[in-house]
Amino acid sequence: MIARIARKEFLEMTRDGRFRAAFAVVMVLLLASLALGWKHYRDVDDQRREAQRTTRRQWLEQGEKNPHGAAHYGVYAFKPKSPLSLVDPGVDAFTGVAVWLEAHKRNTLKHRPARDATALARFGELSAAAVLQLLVPLLIIVLAFPAFAGERDQGTLRQVMSLGVPPRELALGKALGVSWAMAVLLVPASLLGTTALGLASGPEGLIAETPRMGVMAVGYLLYFGIFLGLSLAVSALSGTSKTALLALLGFWVVNCLVVPRASADLASRLHPAPSAFEFHRALGEELSQGINSHDPNSQGMQALRETILLRYGVEREEDLPVSFAGIALQEAEEYGYGVYDKHFAALWNTFARQDQAQRLAAVVSPYLAVRSLSMGAAGTNFARDREFADAAERYRRDLIKIMNDDITQNAQGKNFGYTADADLWEKVPDFHHEAIDFRGSLAENRPDLIILAAWFLAAGFAAMIATARVRVS
């Protein structure tokens, strides 16, 4: 019986011109967004790899100079693009793409792509994820709202019920019919998406990304299930199909537009982030209390000089077996580590608290949960950006220390003319960043999965209760 109902529902949908049109539009948008995502990923990834090689070459070929000069010259670290960004670009447009690693300073990632776009970009990017998060639920609503209410409007519900079909079977059949229609849309899209991913990242990459794709798929299926369950419930409860549709569209607007924006504003009010000016002023103030290695007469430097002279038992800097300049440079760097760690962690924890507050809002908007889960699985959320910035900073510290240690060892006394060459530059390993593994990112996104699962269960429960007491007229 259930299969027959499902078949009838499916046939009806395929025969309806409006549904076919809506279907075709969503299908075209989904496939086009995947193709565009793939092209964008390939271009950007190639470019950043090439840039990373170039910055390495420039570092190695910088010629003979003082190691501190080399440290000032520094290198760039380019953020790799995650392969699944072709499905969900996440916050990629709003985070920087490269950071300059130089002596004394921890720089931030610069060049957010959104700054090079028109205001149109703020309407939202047409990615596969956006189609899945915004348009597919709408399609489900349009397909499922007449399930009971439509039959009631036409007077056929009474007939069907009089045949002795249990309401639960009727609901299941209708749900299956809609799911079948969705499968026609989603299965080819998933295959194309997987192919694009395979083309973009190679067979090994594809295998490595499979668990992430699995999590994404589970998240989206739960999300679609929520809309299907709610649509059936509302359809069974409302008096007419018109009120059913309006109620469901109202939910869509609140879920996809109102709550996300309102919660973003409330979260940033609850946990305000400093302005760039305040942030850098506080940072600068605390840094200036340390040793300024470029000012030989500062108090910190005088004190450090005395300590070092005492340690080596000599009277003058010139008699030291090591270079005081190298020691002072490293000392100043290390003072900076603590300051930078503290300020950046405080800022990013503020962002994390904002994200937590928005996660609470997912209790009223499953869109927020699926968006967060999808970005997390794709590796395009801010946590990955933070991780990259931290990895680049660790690399910077290693690089600068190699330079400073070399000065300390080889520029004894007051040998300011000391230079090193490519042998030293080679001692710095190439920069390489591996994103967090699958388990780590899954752990981060577990709350999103739980919220989605709870929504799914609640929606299924609502559908069951509502269909059990469906009104015939």
Question: Hey, which residues between 40 and 79 contact another protein (CB under 8 A)?
Answer: 44, 47-48, 51, 54-55, 58, 62-63, 73, 76, 78
Taking the C-alpha atoms of residue 229 and residue 460, their distance in angstroms, rounded to an integer, is 5
Q: Tell me, residue by residue from 348 to 387, as one string, x for binding to another protein by CB under 8 A and - for no binding.
A: --xx--xx--x----------------------xx--x--
DSSP codes joined into one string, 357-425: HHHHHTTT-HHHHHHHHHHHHHT-SHHHHHHHHHHHHHHHHHHHHHHHHHHHHHSTBT-TT--B-HHHH
Taking the C-alpha atoms of residue 9 and residue 111, their distance in angstroms, rounded to an integer, is 51
Q: Which is nearer to another protein, 118 or 473 (CB)?
A: 118
Burial string for 367-406 (b: 16+ CB within 10 Å, else e) reads bbbbbbbbbbbbbbbbbbbbbbbebbbebbbebbbbbbbb
Q: How far is the CB of 355 from another protein (least distance, A)?
A: 6
DSSP codes joined into one string, 97-115: SEEEE-SS-BPPPB--GGG
Q: Does 253 bind another protein (CB under 8 A)?
A: yes
Q: Tell me, residue by residue from 266 to 305, as one string, x for binding to another protein by CB under 8 A and - for no binding.
A: -xxx--xxxxxxxx-x------------xxxx--------
Q: How far is the CB of 358 from another protein (least distance, A)?
A: 7
Q: Tell me, residue by residue from 453 to 472, as one string, x for binding to another protein by CB under 8 A and - for no binding.
A: --------------------
Q: Does 1 bind another protein (CB under 8 A)?
A: no
Helix (H) or strand (E) holding 240: none
Chosen residue from 19, 27, 36, 454 binding another protein by CB under 8 A: 36
| Cα-based distances in Å from 364 to 225, 430, 453, 455 | 16, 47, 14, 9
Chosen residue from 167, 229, 260, 326 binding another protein by CB under 8 A: 260
Taking the C-alpha atoms of residue 110 and residue 112, their distance in angstroms, rounded to an integer, is 6
Q: How far is the CB of 312 from another protein (least distance, A)?
A: 26
Q: Does 94 bind another protein (CB under 8 A)?
A: yes
Window 140 to 179, contacts with another protein (CB under 8 A): 142
Q: Which residues lie across from 65 on neighbouring strands?
A: 420
Chosen residue from 199, 347, 436, 454 binding another protein by CB under 8 A: 347
Q: Tell me, residue by residue from 306 to 335, as one string, x for binding to another protein by CB under 8 A and - for no binding.
A: ------------------------------
